[in-house]
A and B are shown apart, each in its own frame.
Chain A
Amino acid sequence: NAGVTQTPKFRILKIGQSMTLQCTQDMNHNYMYWYRQDPGMGLKLIYYSVGAGITDKGEVPNGYNVSRSTTEDFPLRLELAAPSQTSVYFCASRPGQGNTGELFFGEGSRLTVL
């Protein structure tokens, strides 16, 4: 019962470094999402994907890139990390349109940029 798995769970980066947050799901879901959540705030959509090979920007895509080469994986790339990217990142998936709309979340990746 793995569901949505995110790695790493915690990471500290220096300004200007790059890294990739990994996300994989074993439920054969078409839709996958990356959200960030700043302290005391709601979730903001960074990027999403409706299927392999298809990605689209959310409301806060600047400074990030994604790819979706397989149904299972949806990595999030941070280029030139900045302190403003300090946040908790959640990956989520759901089967697709027409379903209940339930999002299945990973446990989150806590990123600090110093």
Chain B
Amino acid sequence: RKEVEQDPGPFNVPEGATVAFNCTYSNSASQSFFWYRQDCRKEPKLLMSVYSSGNEDGRFTAQLNRASQYISLLIRDSKLSDSATYLCVVPGTGTASKLTFGTGTRLQVTL
């Protein structure tokens, strides 16, 4: 299994829809996980941290499933401005100093 794996998409959804992305990881010892958002030709920015108890911030919910080694990001009531690439980030194998990025899932929200 790759360190981090994501479905590249694109996910094309209408405004107002609910959409979910998953990200699988290989290091069962990983404790912390993150979702970053990247707009076209821009630097990534932290969207949410993912805790064992899950994390919710407005329309965004992040969950962790340790048994199956995946994290998820749920976006409710999608907005046009949510169109971006969503990157899953986990500590690298062997050291928590490194953060390994997934290839990203592209979301396109349409009218």
- The answer to whether B103 and A108 touch across the interface, beta carbons within 8 angstroms, is no
- The answer to whether B97 and A48 touch across the interface, beta carbons within 8 angstroms, is yes
Give CA–CA (A105, B96) in the complex, Å: 18
Give CA–CA (A101, B41) in the complex, Å: 23
| Most chain B CB atoms below 10 A, which of A56, A100, A103 | A103
- The answer to whether B102 and A42 touch across the interface, beta carbons within 8 angstroms, is yes
Chain B residues closer than 8 Å to A74, beta-carbon distance: none
Chain A residues closer than 8 Å to B100, beta-carbon distance: 45
- The answer to whether B101 and A101 touch across the interface, beta carbons within 8 angstroms, is no
Chain B residues closer than 8 Å to A107, beta-carbon distance: 42-43
- The answer to whether B44 and A43 touch across the interface, beta carbons within 8 angstroms, is yes
Q: Count of B residues near A, CB < 8 Å?
A: 23
- The answer to whether B49 and A42 touch across the interface, beta carbons within 8 angstroms, is no
**How close is A62's CB to chain B, nearest CB, in angstroms?**
17
- The answer to whether A101 and B49 touch across the interface, beta carbons within 8 angstroms, is yes
B28 interfacial by beta-carbon distance below 8 Å: no
**Contact A90/B43 with A31-B97, A45-B98, A100-B49 known, Cβ cut-off 8 Å:** yes
- The answer to whether B104 and A102 touch across the interface, beta carbons within 8 angstroms, is no
Give CA–CA (A50, B99) in the complex, Å: 12
Give CA–CA (A44, B42) in the complex, Å: 16
Additional A-B contact list (17), CB under 8 Å, known A42-B102, A105-B43:
A31-B97, A33-B98, A33-B99, A35-B101, A42-B87, A43-B101, A44-B101, A45-B100, A56-B97, A97-B96, A100-B46, A101-B32, A102-B46, A103-B36, A103-B44, A103-B89, A105-B44
Q: Which 7 pairs, one residue from A and one from B, show the smallest C-beta to C-beta distance? A: A42-B103, A105-B43, A43-B101, A102-B46, A42-B101, A50-B97, A42-B104
